[in-house]
Amino acid sequence: MNAIQTAISDVQGIVGLAAKHLDTGPEIRHNADTVFFTASTLKVPLLVELYRQVDQGLIDLNRRIELTDALRVPGSGVFKELASGLQPTLHDLALLMIIISDNTATDFLYNLVGRDNLNNTMQELGLTQTHIPMTCRELLFSIAGLDTTNPSHTYQLASERLKQQQFVLDADSFSEERSDVSSPDDMCRLLALIYRGDILSPSSREAVLDILKRQQLNTVIPAALPTGTEVAHKTGSYHSVRCDVGIVFSPTGPYTVAIMAKGLTGDRSSIDAGLAVVSRAVYDVFAG
């Protein structure tokens, strides 16, 4: 445990950590019930709500949608760069939402499942510190000091301000009362519910885990683990915020881990490297 505390103390910011071995039960906690900004880890609850509605027969993942200029969202992803008229399936959107954190895909799915449905489900699951009131567009426009309801505040304007890091630090996006937030405890609880099949059908459980295992952004939880370690996870970041939440399939069995941080200083690569050391310290406790 000393190695975990040392690793956390080396990170310049506030770090929250929750981890639980799903077979044997031991837990590791540090600021585990503290509220943190989710950044793109909000996409895990959204993925769960999507597949919950698939199980209810409300959504067909084979349905195709058409990419239009109105759907484009700044920030991470590739859809915003592609020509209008592309017709991906909803499953394609779910995949890209997770594995490359595509914001355009995310917001289409967010609006499809419904803000109230998403948040009500999280509360019904007992995730009382998880609130996701903002789409990616709303979050990023807010960071840039823009209003999504103002026609003159365009995608292009938001993209340029974000590229130039023209951030409004007193915006709703940086308010824990108005932005997308959760806690390490909540995230680990949700991941455990997914793994144990408590909230989704067997086929949807397998689909969700498969998507999370295909993650391509691997600089935190998996980065310092032994080569070949299987991890199902989702990252998230924006100004001074970094998160990664997932399930690690260790030699002694799977464990959930949620690393969430805020108020960070330093460059992105050094922050990620520090948080990867935290992840490895957890692995060493659980996997010996």
Q: What is the pLDDT of residue 172?
A: 94
Predicted TM-score of the model (pTM): 0.96
Residue 10 to residue 140: CA distance in whole angstroms:
29
The domains found in the chain, sorted by start residue, are 2-287 (3.40.710.10)
Q: Are strands 181-182 and 36-37 parallel, antiparallel or unpaired?
A: antiparallel
Own/partner contacts of 107-116, CB < 8 Å, gap of 24 or more, are 107/71, 107/73, 107/135, 107/136, 107/137, 108/65, 108/71, 109/46, 109/50, 110/46, 110/135, 110/136, 111/135, 112/50, 112/59, 113/46, 113/49, 113/50, 113/53, 113/59
Write the secondary structure of 148-198 as one string of H (helix), E (strand) and C (coil).
CCCCCCCHHHHHHHHHCCCCCCCCHHHCCCCCCEECHHHHHHHHHHHHHCC
Whether residue 220 contacts residue 231, with contact meaning beta carbons closer than 8 Å, is answered with: no
Whether residue 134 contacts residue 172, with contact meaning beta carbons closer than 8 Å, is answered with: yes
> pLDDT (tens digit, 0 to 9) for every residue of the chain, 288 residues total?
699 999 999 999 999 999 999 999 999 999 999 999 999 999 999 999 999 999 999 999 999 999 999 999 999 999 999 999 999 999 999 999 999 999 999 999 999 999 999 999 999 999 999 999 999 999 999 999 999 999 999 999 999 999 999 999 999 999 999 999 999 999 999 999 999 999 999 999 999 999 999 999 999 999 999 999 999 999 999 989 999 999 999 999 999 999 999 999 989 999 999 999 999 999 999 997
Q: What is the pLDDT of residue 222?
A: 98
Residue 134, φ and ψ in degrees, nearest 5 = -115, 135
Q: What is the pLDDT of residue 239?
A: 87
Q: What is the pLDDT of residue 288?
A: 78
